[in-house]
Amino acid sequence: MAQRFLTAFLWSQRRIILWLAAILIVVVAVVFLKRADVYEYLSNYENRDRLRDEVDRLRAETKRLEQERDDLAKEGFAAEKAARERFRLSKKDEIVVYLETPTPRDGVTSPTLRGERR
Residue 117: phi, psi to the nearest 5?
-100, 130
* DSSP state, residue 74: T
Per-residue burial over 45-55, b if 16 or more Cβ lie within 10 Å, else e, is: eeeeeeeeeee
**Domain shared by 74 and 26, yes or no:** no
The model's pTM: 0.38
**Using one digit for the tens of pLDDT, what is the confidence trace for 59-103?**
999 999 998 788 777 777 767 777 777 887 777 888 877 777 766
Give pLDDT, residue 70: 82
Q: Is the CB of residue 117 less than 8 Å from the CB of residue 91?
A: no
> Residue 15: which domain range?
1-33
**Domain shared by 106 and 57, yes or no:** yes
**Domain shared by 56 and 19, yes or no:** no
Q: How many domains does the chain have?
A: 2
